[in-house]
Chain A
Amino acid sequence: MQQFPCPWCGNRAEGEFRYAGDAGIDRPERMVDDKAWAQYLHFRRNAKGAAQELWIHSSGCGRWIVLSRDTVTHVVTGSEPMA
């Protein structure tokens, strides 16, 4: 099993973590049109290669982290606390 680095717990088995979507997606202002809202809700870069992802260390410390992961090689190059 692959090991993921948690900024709080160190290297832990990947099964302890859950994927929770792309990192860095900002919620738009309250009053936006349907198109902008749909872009926020559903439309994604779906990167092939380097990606910044939100994960939660659900079976560990329970904290949210940002994982730098490559979607082709699955190599994880780092993690940091969610801003």
Chain B
Amino acid sequence: MNAVKKHYSGWSVLQEGLRGQTGWTKAWHDRDPAPRYDVVIIGGGGHGLATAYYLARTHGITRVAVIEKGWIGGGNTGRNTTIIRSNYFYPESAALYDLSVSLYEGLSRALNYNIMFSQRGMIEVAHSEAELEMMCRAANAMRINGVDIEIIDRDEVLRLAPLLAADLNVRWPVLGGQIQRRAGVARHDAVAWGYARAADSLGVHIIQNCEVIGVAIERGRVTAIETSRGRIVADRFGMAVAGHSSVLAGMAGFALPLQSYTLQAMVSEPVKPCLDVVVASSSHGAYVSQSDKGELVMGGNLDRCPSYAQRGNFPVTQSVVASLIEMFPAFASLKLMRQWGGIVDTSPDNSPILGPSPMEGLYLNCGWGTGGFKAIPAGGTLFAHILATGRHHPISAPFDLTRFDSGATIDEGHAGVAH
């Protein structure tokens, strides 16, 4: 196989154009599992790949494998609506998600991979005086936490998103909103691929089509995992498997405070640029942005009951589309092109779980629920710190599993429509 590391730049694109595109090499190696590693990360989504990258880059731990049962970035990383924001209420959450937005801002350069982070801003629309007042309260808290939030009036909302229904004599009139201007969207596959390529070039093994089928425990410690491609021994294991966290925890003999639900997303047929901000509405229960290809990317709330089916049920599809048309009447003439679902692991307080598991040697990165994509760089940074040192980072400490025993939960249940 050719050497993998090739620097991506305008120059390399030009050079390859002149050479007939013959000099491109694979972005990462397809490895076979070695029998032993320092750290094994289960789950080759954004969080798993980012964790591997920061383990190698920040902590110098390169005997690392990321094992993935399918293909990397094929789960929720490749299924979400790619919104990145940090407008959360509590200081603990603000520290976590704002770290993530900051890391996203420099990620294309850090990884030498264009993740196409477009900080076009995100508006949450308020439809009643009461909602606007609660939004002001939340915005004040966020500003104290250092997050760039502004309350904007009805005129400004309609100036930024002119296709929003402006009529005041409707069920949910536009009265104002909240905007985070640093928020935006990114290319989700590029986030997975960029981290994979950068991790691989630092010596990390990326092993696809490798499913965990058993967990070996000796005296309360996870010592090895059985996979569809053989037994793998490691000093520490990190799990970043989102909707399947409970399944993996079950193999290791413990339960988690998680419930897996389907979160749907869908796109319309592509049209010319008509929406250059992300717009969300809790009252309607829907959010939308326009992709670079021109499709309107939309989503809404979780499906109605727990599910491991990556497809979603029809009543929610219907309600998302109905809400979108009520918000943007002009979109009624568009065809729905594709619809899909991902399995998200929701926690009781809608905050993630990071840190040690009840089994020694096994660490948790789960519970991101509907909002994992936006947190990938922070999740990877913090999880790498935990796996490298065996201790919490100050930002991850409040998100330990033991918060459910102590009652110190971080209830972000109101942090917007499913993100």
Contacts and interface: CB of A to CB of B under 8 A. Distances in A.
Nearest to B250: A45
Contacts, number: 68
Given A14-B313, A74-B313, 10 more contacts: A1-B315, A41-B404, A42-B348, A44-B256, A44-B259, A46-B259, A48-B247, A49-B308, A55-B305, A74-B307
A34 B306 contact: no
Contacts of A19: 304-306
B257 interface: yes
Nearest to A74: B309
A42 to B, nearest CB: 4
Contacts of B350: none
Interface of A: 1-2, 14-15, 18-19, 34-35, 38-39, 41-46, 48-49, 51, 53, 55, 69, 71-74
Majority SS at the chain B contact face: mixed
Nearest to A45: B255
Nearest to A19: B305
B239 interface: no
Closest 8 CB pairs of A and B: A46-B246, A42-B257, A19-B305, A43-B255, A38-B405, A38-B404, A48-B308, A34-B405
A71 B315 contact: no
A44 B315 contact: no
B314 interface: yes
Given A19-B304, A34-B406, A43 B257 contact: yes
Interface of B: 244, 246-247, 250, 255-260, 304-309, 313-315, 348, 404-407
B211 to A, nearest CB: 13
A46 B314 contact: no
Given A42-B348, A43-B257, A71 B306 contact: yes
Contacts of A55: 305
A74 B316 CA distance: 15
26 contacts: A1-B314, A14-B304, A18-B304, A19-B305, A35-B405, A41-B404, A42-B348, A42-B404, A43-B256, A43-B404, A44-B259, A45-B246, A45-B250, A46-B247, A46-B255, A46-B256, A46-B259, A46-B260, A48-B246, A48-B247, A48-B308, A49-B308, A53-B305, A55-B305, A71-B306, A72-B309
Contacts of B407: 34
Contacts of B314: 1
Task: Determine which residue in A38, A41, A69 has the highest number of CB atoms from chain B within 10 A of its CB, and name it.
Answer: A38
B87 to A, nearest CB: 26
Contacts of A43: 255-257, 404
Nearest to A35: B405
Given A44-B257, A46-B246, A2 B406 contact: no
